[in-house]
């Protein structure tokens, strides 16, 4: 084998083997936060819909009204936005809840209702809770830390439909 062919073969092997460890070590981004709305009754859009998903690689997906149907939009968070999100996710009022959280003074008879299903990745386990009956514009405010998180999420989404209202 000539020197030139040997050099070419070595370069090809290094290239082939050199790229392999990176390919094996690259992991799919994990879900940091995921929220779904589940609207029932006389409300559009009805049913369970993606509100937002934030991934560990700083990508953000959310559902928005298109011209004729609901569409998924994509954004990318800055490093500062991701740091701020992590601070909000680790606030005392966000870390503790689980199960169903019902707004105080929620009317018993409603012709529609929105549940907000929240899932947060907490290193090795998923924290889940559902918020029901919270409507800030009608005086039933979200708990403070959760309200701050929702205001931040709605600011990032910049979508026409928002679960928060009265954000500063």
- Residue ranges of the domains in the chain? 31-157
Task: Report whether 90 contacts 146 (CB < 8 A).
Answer: no
Question: How far is CA 145 from each of CA 91, 97, 164, rounded to the nearest angstrom?
Answer: 6, 11, 13
Model confidence at 22: pLDDT above 50: no
Query: How large a percentage of the chain has pLDDT more than 90?
Result: 45
Residue 93 β-bridge partners: none
Q: Is 153 helix (H, G, I), strand (E, B) or coil?
A: helix
Spatial separation of the C-alpha atoms in residues 160 and 70, rounded to whole Å: 12
pLDDT per residue over 108-141, tens digit each? 677 777 889 999 999 889 999 999 988 887 788 8
Burial of 133 by CB count in 10 Å (0-12 exposed, 13-18 middle, 19+ buried)?
Answer: middle
pLDDT of 153 higher than 90? yes
Residue 20 has pLDDT above 50, yes or no: no
Average pLDDT over residues 87-108: 89
Cis previous bond, 45, omega within 30:
yes
Looking at domain 31-157, its CATH superfamily turns out to be Mago nashi (3.30.1560.10)
What is the dihedral sign for C-alpha 111, 72, 152, 95?
A: positive
35-91: pLDDT as tens digits:
999 877 776 566 788 899 999 999 999 988 777 777 888 999 999 999 999 999 999
pLDDT at 92 over 90: yes
Query: Helices (DSSP H) in the chain: which residue ranges?
Result: 3-25, 79-89, 92-95, 144-157
**Which pTM value belongs to this model?**
0.78
Helix (H) or strand (E) holding 112: strand 112-122
Please tell me whether residue 114 adopts helix, strand or coil conformation. strand
Distances (CA, A) of 142 to 20, 54, 89, 134: 48, 21, 15, 6
């Amino acid at each position: 084998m000539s020197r030139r062919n040997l050099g070419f073969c070595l370069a090809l092997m290094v290239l082939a083997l050199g790229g392999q460890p990176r390919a094996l070590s690259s992991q799919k981004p994990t879900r940091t936060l995921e929220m779904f709305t589940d609207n029932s009754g006389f409300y559009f859009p009805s049913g369970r819909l993606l509100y937002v998903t934030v991934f560990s690689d700083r990508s953000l997906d959310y559902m928005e009204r298109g011209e004729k149907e609901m569409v998924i939009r994509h954004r990318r968070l800055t490093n500062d936005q991701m740091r701020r999100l992590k601070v909000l996710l680790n606030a005392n009022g966000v870390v503790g809840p689980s199960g169903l959280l019902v707004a105080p003074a929620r009317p018993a008879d409603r012709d529609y209702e929105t549940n907000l299903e929240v899932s947060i990745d907490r290193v090795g386990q998923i924290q889940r809770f559902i918020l029901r009956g919270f409507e800030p514009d009608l005086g039933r405010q979200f708990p403070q830390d959760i309200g701050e998180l929702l205001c931040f999420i709605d600011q990032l989404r910049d979508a026409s439909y928002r679960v928060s209202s009265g954000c500063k």
